[in-house]
Structures are given as structure tokens and as C-alpha cells.
Structure 1
Amino acid sequence: MTEPRWLDARESRLWESYRDAHRELMRALEARLIANSGLSGADYALLHPLSVAEDGVLRTRDLGKSVGWERSRLSHQVSRMEKRGLVTREECESDARGSMVRLTGLGRKAIEAAAPDHVEAVRSYFFDHLSPEEQSQLSVLLERVLTAVPANPCATPDCDE
């Protein structure tokens, strides 16, 4: 058996800083989003890609892929949002096995009302603390890390409902 490649002190500090920054950033963004719009982070995560999609509609597997969620999580969240009138589900005309998720008028109003404060929160919690050069460097570094991460399971065709 090969000895584990334990993290040294520098690597541990970097990993913990990244992990903690991500966790606290997501926590703060979620809290502000709920307080100011009534939308959860999960609501916003699905409403955003739908709001920029042609006709406000995406195939379920494409919506899942865009947020990196498995089918079960996506299905439960879409059900919650459907009950609140933010989205509707439709059959996929081109493939009877697939389904579509459509943004409703209420969903569009909700994302349009939430977006200005949400983007301000992202700026004030994240971008305002990094110079343009640091932002570029961080983008390059994170893109490099992402290329080493195994593919999203929702990239497979069985992600449709």
C-alpha cells in the first residue's frame, strides 16, 4: 500500500483558507439573499440559468449540468419552486424521455428583483477585495484546478427526469 501524500503546513493552510472562504462566502450570500428577496441560494441557482435561457426554458439535464446537481436534488428543488409558482415542468417535445423546466412570470420577477442586491453582495464580499490582476490570476488558477476535477455526473444522459 502506498503511503498517503499528506498535506504539509503550507498546503493545509491554503486548503483550509479556500474551504473556509468558500463556506463563509456561500453562507453570507445565502443569508443576504433570503433576507432581501425571500429566495434561497438554491432558488437563485436555478432561476439564473433559466432567466438567461432562450424563452426561459431548459431541458432538465442541462439545468442540472449548469448547477452541478444530481437528478434527485434537482427534482426536489424544482418541485419546491413549482409549488411556489416560480417554474413549471413540461414534457420535452423532441424526446419523450426528457423533461423541460420553464421560468414563470413570477419566477422572472423574483430573479429580476433579487439580482441587483445579489450582485452587489458578490462584489462587496468577493471582488472588492481583489485587484483586477488578482482576479485574473485567481481565474487562471481555479480553471487549472477545475480541469483536474472528475466530470460532473449530470453530464451523462440519465440526468433527465
Structure 2
Amino acid sequence: MTTRWLTPEEQRAWRAYMAATLLLEDALDRQLQQEAGMPHLYYSILANLSDAAEHRLRMTDLAERLKITRSRLTYAVARLEKDGLVRREGCPSDKRGSVAALTDEGVAVLERAAPGHVETVRALLFDRLTAQQVGQLEEIFLSVTQALQGDDARCAPTDVPWLRRSSTSCT
């Protein structure tokens, strides 16, 4: 089998994507640590729970949505639980499973953190793009997401809670 090396254009695009992704994630983490005292992952957990029915999700479903391991999620939820932002409950349909539930304090923290987070996302990404580029970005990442999840993708980007305005105005 012959290796299909990246063309110079593809290599530049790949490196630009990697640099932007790493820098953006670092900037989001810094902003949320400074303004809300939590990393981006914790904010994402709270945002996902805020968009779920009754502010509850099975831990396995939450891990799948976040694309993280169950052990990493368990550690993060334990920290959020210690801070009173989330509580774990037994799963009524599966005695072995557990559910993460957003507390009222978690909703309040999320509502306080959301405006600064959204402003950072806007300033670092969307304010730098034209409307046409925003559409292209969506099209590009929808295509990549569908390829990675298969043609029967359950989670198109518009179905990802933190990418749309919710009842708590969180991204």
C-alpha cells in the first residue's frame, strides 16, 4: 500500500487547524478558570445537563456526548458534586447505572458563566469570520462529524447542546 502524503496545501490546512484547535481550547479553559473557577470540560458538563430533559443524563450518555472516558467523567462529576453543582442519582431503569443531575446551584453557576464564555467564543472565533465562512465552517465540520460517526450519525453539530442557545443561554 502506498502512503497518500498530504499535499503542501493540505499540510498547511492541517497545521492551521491543529494550531487553532489547541489555542482555542487553551483560551476557553483560561477564560472559564478566571471567570468561573472551572475548566472548559466542567462547563461543558453543566451545559449538557442544562439542555437535557429534567437536567439529568445517564453518566454513560453524558460521557458519549462529551467524547470522554467514563472514568474521566466520573472524576469530573465527583468534583462538581463536591461543589454542589451536580448530584449523582441511581438510574431507575438500570440499577447498575447512575444519573448526573444538575442542581439549582449548578444552573446558577452556569447562568453566571455563560455570558463571558459566549463572548470569548464570539471574540476568538466568530467575530473573525464572515457569514459565508461561518456557513463553510459548519459545512466542513458537519461533513467530518458524519464521516467519523458514520452515515447514521445520531449527533449532528446542531444537536450538540453547547452549540446553540438554550433556556439558560449557554453555548
State the TM-score, normalized to the length of structure 1: 0.88
Q: CA deviation at 1:150?
A: 5.0
2:15 is aligned with 1:16 = yes
Counterpart amino acid of residue 99 in structure 2: M
Q: Deviations over 1:39-72 (max 9, x none)?
A: 2111101000111222211111221121111211
Greater Cα offset, 3-12 or 14-23: 3-12
Identical counterparts, % of pairs = 40
Q: Indicate the residue corresponding to 2:161 in structure 1.
A: none
| Whole-Å separation in 2 of the counterparts to 1:37 and 1:80 | 14
Q: Indicate the residue corresponding to 1:104 in structure 2.
A: 103
> Deviation above 4 Å: which 4+ runs of structure 1?
none
Counterpart amino acid of residue 28 in structure 1: A
Q: Indicate the residue corresponding to 1:66 in structure 2.
A: 65
- Structure 2 stretches lacking a partner, 5+ long: 155-171
Greater Cα offset, 10-19 or 102-111: 102-111
- Structure 1 stretches lacking a partner, 5+ long: 156-161
Q: C-alpha root-mean-square deviation of aligned residues, in Å?
A: 1.5
| Whole-Å separation in 2 of the counterparts to 1:37 and 1:77 | 15
Aligned residue pairs, count: 151
Q: Indicate the residue corresponding to 2:157 in structure 1.
A: none
Query: Relative CO higher for 1 or 2, CA cutoff 8 Å, sep ≥ 6?
Result: 1
Q: Indicate the residue corresponding to 1:146 in structure 2.
A: 145
2:97 is aligned with 1:93 = no
Greater Cα offset, 95-104 or 120-129: 95-104
State the TM-score, normalized to the length of structure 2: 0.83
